[in-house]
């Protein structure tokens, strides 16, 4: 009989650690998952953050974050969700800006992506100052997914004016085939997808996922809902374009260029 292992993940432990004036301090509060995990461990009451399970002999992962929620089932019907691989492909076009003919280039790093809105900014760098991670060529409409700390949901869409820019190798680059890029980006930012990403985290101080993991993620929508999301994304894209145009006119009026 195979022995079972208890997998538990305490997300609240009774305090937060904050940094103030350069010093880290512990701020206590009443939120803690430890009693619920203990109750699940001794079999008194089930808990979403912990469960008993068998660990295969050939298991490559032992961490609780990977096992506690279980592997999401692959979709078998149109209402079970959609694999990212069925609506987009992973691209990895490389270019070293230092070896090009241009003296400068547009560079997108992880901090240039607004995790809240999905908008993508950039920096104009001298080609000879290109960071070692500035190697991936992107096209307008590509979806950039940060593979570093994926729980933050840093996902954005390359705008038209950054077609041909270079992004960090810390991004997975998805090129859409059957979905609007903005729709895919927002679905990848959903809690359901981010939980899947976290399961595949590797590393503690600098957690990251492999690029290929993005293709195996299950989008929590049916095919019909995906079409509706794409239609809504077209409206959002038009609204964003109108906003940027109005912002540029206002910036010109007050005498400075928008950031």
pLDDT tens digit sequence for 175-220: 999 899 999 999 999 989 998 998 888 877 778 999 999 999 999 9
**Rounded-to-integer distance, Cα 135 and Cα 108, Å:** 10
100-125: per-residue pLDDT in tens? 889 999 999 999 999 888 899 999 99
pLDDT of residue 112: 94
CA-based max dimension of the chain: 76
Who contacts 91 (Cβ-Cβ below 8 Å, separation ≥6)?
A: 142, 173, 174, 175
Do 38 and 91 lie in a common domain?
Answer: no
Phi, psi of 50 (to 5 degrees): -155, 150
CB atoms within 10 A of CB 83: 14
The total domain count for the chain is: 2
How far apart, in whole angstroms, are the C-alpha atoms of residue 62 and residue 41? 17
The answer to the question of residue 170 being in a domain is yes
Angle at 145 (CA atoms; ends 140, 147), nearest 5 degrees: 145
Tens digit of pLDDT for each residue in 42-87? 999 988 888 888 877 777 677 776 666 655 555 545 566 899 999 9
- The number of residues in the chain equals 259
Q: What local confidence, expressed as pLDDT, does residue 174 receive?
A: 98
DSSP state of 97: G
> 196 and 104 share a domain?
yes
Domain residues for the domain of 178 are 82-223
Q: Would you say residue 246 lies in a domain?
A: no
Q: Do residues 129 and 209 both lie within one domain?
A: yes
Termini Cα distance of the chain:
63
Q: Is residue 240 situated within a structural domain?
A: no
User: Is 202 part of a structural domain of the chain?
Assistant: yes
Closest CA to 142 of 188, 193, 209, 82: 188
Q: What are phi and psi of 134, to 5 degrees?
A: -85, 85
Asked, for residue 16, whether it belongs to a domain, the answer is yes
3-class secondary-structure state, position 25? strand
What's the pTM? 0.74
CATH number at residue 171: 3.90.220.20
Other CB atoms within 10 Å distance of the CB of residue 69: 17
Where is the domain boundary, 40, 67, 94?
Answer: 67
Do 118 and 159 share a domain, yes or no?
A: yes
User: Is the same domain home to 56 and 87?
Assistant: no
Residue 38 shares a structural domain with residue 113: no
Residue 211 sits in the same domain as residue 91: yes
* Three-state SS at 189: coil
């Amino acid at each position: 009989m195979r022995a079972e292992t208890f997998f538990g993940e305490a997300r609240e432990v009774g305090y937060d650690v904050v940094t103030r004036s350069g010093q880290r301090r512990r701020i206590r509060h009443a939120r803690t998952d430890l009693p619920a995990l203990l109750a699940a461990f001794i079999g008194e009451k089930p808990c979403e953050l912990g469960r008993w399970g068998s660990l295969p002999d050939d298991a490559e992962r032992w961490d609780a974050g990977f096992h506690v929620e279980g592997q999401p089932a692959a979709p078998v019907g149109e209402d079970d969700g959609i694999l990212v691989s069925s609506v987009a492909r992973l691209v990895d076009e490389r270019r070293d800006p230092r070896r090009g003919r241009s003296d400068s280039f547009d560079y997108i790093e992880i901090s240039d992506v607004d995790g809240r809105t999905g908008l993508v900014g950039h920096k104009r760098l001298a080609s000879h100052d290109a960071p070692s991670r500035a190697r991936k060529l992107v096209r307008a409409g590509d979806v950039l997914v940060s593979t570093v700390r994926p729980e933050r949901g840093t996902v954005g869409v390359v705008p038209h004016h950054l077609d041909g820019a270079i992004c960090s190798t810390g991004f997975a680059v998805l090129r859409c085939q059957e979905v609007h890029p903005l729709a895919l980006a927002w679905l990848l930012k959903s809690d359901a997808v981010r939980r899947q990403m976290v399961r595949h985290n590797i590393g503690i101080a600098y957690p990251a996922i492999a690029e290929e993991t993005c293709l195996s993620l299950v989008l929590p929508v049916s095919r019909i809902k995906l079409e509706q999301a794409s239609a809504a994304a077209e409206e959002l894209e038009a609204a964003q374009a109108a906003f940027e145009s109005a912002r540029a006119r206002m910036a010109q009026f007050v005498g400075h260029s928008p950031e």
